Amino acid sequence: MFNRNKTRVLKVVLTLIITVMTLQVKSQNLPASDQIVTAEGNVEMYFIGHGSLMFKMNDKIVYVDPVKSSGNYAKMPDADIILITHEHYDHLDPDLIGDLKTTGTVILCNGAAAAKVAGRAMHGGDSESIGKIFIETVDAYNIVNERAPGQPFHPKGAGVGYILNFGGKRIYVAGDTENTPEMKSLKNIDIAFLPMNLPYTMTPEMVADAAQAFKPKILYPYHYGETNTDKLVMLLQDSGIEVRIRNLK
């Protein structure tokens, strides 16, 4: 009897050890993350790299612009929602989307990407409720002016950014855009991800201009390449906006 009980205890201990080791290995394969508290639970924000992000709230997984060149997706979970801002190669990866999606995955994207991934085409000003997650779209584009004459990299009407409402917290992921009137008129944004690399998106000064207009509580520059993020921190040091720098080159 003693030996039998001892064997059972050892099996339980071994099972616990294997479970802990499995969780540790899995967590080591996930990118760095931050958390925010919402009325519906914590939202985990994973910084995959460049323009690629993942959000997790309870059992729901949302990807924004997943591409293999941004990070290692080998151990990443399947998607409930995939959001695509536009069709450029560093934002749209049809093969990876095929790996991440299941029969129940909802894909929202701009018009040019819709046919490539069988997604639902979205335009600026559209909105969609998926379970408890409410999603709005904002036009994302380059402003044609004296600094950037001719054909822009991101023409108006082509790309979109997304506002995700998780339990009352509004997270804005801008996509490839400049400090447009649509961006600067946003209200009640808790967290903003704004792109910062010329000649495709914005300078630190342009990001600071937009942030000071719509006042997100927390700002993450992303898609910033080799841009000096210290400049943005300096520009917003007395603004009341918390600037967080993560590895999102």
- Cα-Cα-Cα-Cα dihedral sign, residues 131, 172, 76, 34: negative
Give dist(CA 145, CA 112) in Å, integer.
25
Tokens of 224: 């910033």
Give dist(CA 117, CA 156) in Å, integer.
22
How long a stretch of residues is the chain? 249
Using pLDDT thresholds of 50, 70 and 90, give the confidence band for residue 110: very high
Which amino acid does the sequence have at 99? D
Query: Any bridge partners for residue 114, and if so which?
Result: none
Give dist(CA 46, CA 43) in Å, integer.
10
Average pLDDT over residues 126-138: 97
Predicted local distance difference test score (pLDDT) of residue 153: 83
Give dist(CA 54, CA 76) in Å, integer.
9
Which carries the bigger pLDDT value, residue 81 or residue 27? 81
Topology annotation, domain 31-243: Metallo-beta-lactamase; Chain A (3.60.15)
Peptide bond into 199 cis (omega under 30): yes
Give dist(CA 71, CA 3) in Å, integer.
49
E strand or H helix at 5, and its extent?
helix 2-28
Using pLDDT thresholds of 50, 70 and 90, give the confidence band for residue 22: very low
Question: Can you give the pTM of this predicted structure?
Answer: 0.87
Using pLDDT thresholds of 50, 70 and 90, give the confidence band for residue 145: low
Predicted local distance difference test score (pLDDT) of residue 23: 38
- Is residue 111 within 8 Å of residue 123, measured between CB atoms? yes
Please report, rounded to a whole number, the percentage of residues in the chain having pLDDT higher than 70.
86
